Amino acid sequence: MMTYRIVIFLLVIFSIQKIFGKQCLNDQWPPKSDRIVPTHVVNLDLPPVERWKEIATIYKPAIIDLVDYIKQFALSISPELQFLVSLVDTKLPAMADTLPAPYGDELKGISHTTGIPLGEIVLYNIFYEIFTLCTSIVAEDQNGNILHGRNLDFGLLLGWDMLNNTWTLSEKLRPLITQVNFTQHGQVLFKTTSFAGYIGVITGVRPGIFSISMNERYGFKGGYIGLIEWIFNINRNQSFVTFAMRDMLTTSESYNQAVEYLTKIKLTAPCYYILAGPKSKQGVIITRSRYEADDIKQLGNDNLWFLIETNYDNWKKPPVFDDRITPCIECMKTKGKNQVTFESLFNVFSSRPMLNKLTVYTALMEPATGRLESYYQYCRDEDAPCAPW
């Protein structure tokens, strides 16, 4: 009962903060040098077990800290969740062998390099399927150039630090953020903004072809169902949403091919795929259920020069306790079509409530050139009231 009351109290406070915490800033660019996310390389010409060795070695302590926290947090909620923690040791190691190549071997390589049990590495690579909040924008300027950006918000309800007014998991994730350039035959095949040792893709760009971001979609048959079906071999005729993105970045040779692939593939979880191409009007939000696309919204509909997606179906009114899309639309319209730049988008993403306590990074992409810039994000209360989500 006490937990229920706390949740209700927080919802009221957070809703008030949402109402009074709207901004449309103009002075956040350029970010300071210490906000720039480091870049590493994964060489796809190497055997899968060797590809993540350098990254896994560098970030080993932070990965251990994060996985330990997830397990301890589950137990702190209720000792009865011990059975879930036990799955990490009993079921998840074997899951690596059920994943399509090259993912299982890559996970084994990370486990071997770090000494972290394989089940914990699998856990680290699947919990992004079900705990992500985001804001993604695709916009076209007056010359037909397309830019694509996103805020990644992560860690909702996974431990609130009352002393520092932060989400504990979000703070533990930030040191793991890295840009990863995937190379093949000595050339960059695609670039991503991700977490060290996480082999799927949440944000990525294939230079000259397309860019993509994924936002979680809440629904009845969500990620939990797909994970259970996969772990217990009920249904493996589906793809993890972030592995599907990496497959598409690896194999798709055109924007249209990428859109078709992500429209049709069966998935373990519902989600929103937001894609942009190098040409005018090449932008789309694909609203996915697990087995099909429920909606496809094209850039240019309703004479709008931008698309915005958060975590709710874009043809419906967002919930009052988490309306990021309305102030985001207002801010984009204020800036106008003549201000579609990295600077302008970064200012939008740095404005509340698009920026909140869950926000860990902002990524900015230009599909035509393959330009990708990623920055650590922080929402600090001393600047202005900051909503926890």
Query: By the 8 A CB rule, do 288 and 294 touch?
Result: yes
Strands 306-309 and 359-366: unpaired
Other CB atoms within 10 Å distance of the CB of residue 227: 18
Interatomic CA distance for residues 133 and 148, integer angstroms: 17
Query: By the 8 A CB rule, do 168 and 160 touch?
Result: yes
The answer to whether residue 134 is catalytic is: yes
CA angle 374, 379, 385 (to 5 degrees): 150
324: its two tokens: 């990021």
- Maximal C-alpha separation, the chain: 59
Other CB atoms within 10 Å distance of the CB of residue 232: 9
322: its two tokens: 């988490």
Among the listed residues 352, 327, 332, the one whose alpha carbon sits nearest the alpha carbon of residue 344: 332
Output DSSP code: residue 100: P
Interatomic CA distance for residues 228 and 282, integer angstroms: 36
Task: Return the residue matching tokens 């909140």.
Answer: 356
Active-site residue, from 24, 134, 328, 379? 134
Task: Return the SS3 of 379.
Answer: coil
Active-site annotation, residues: 134
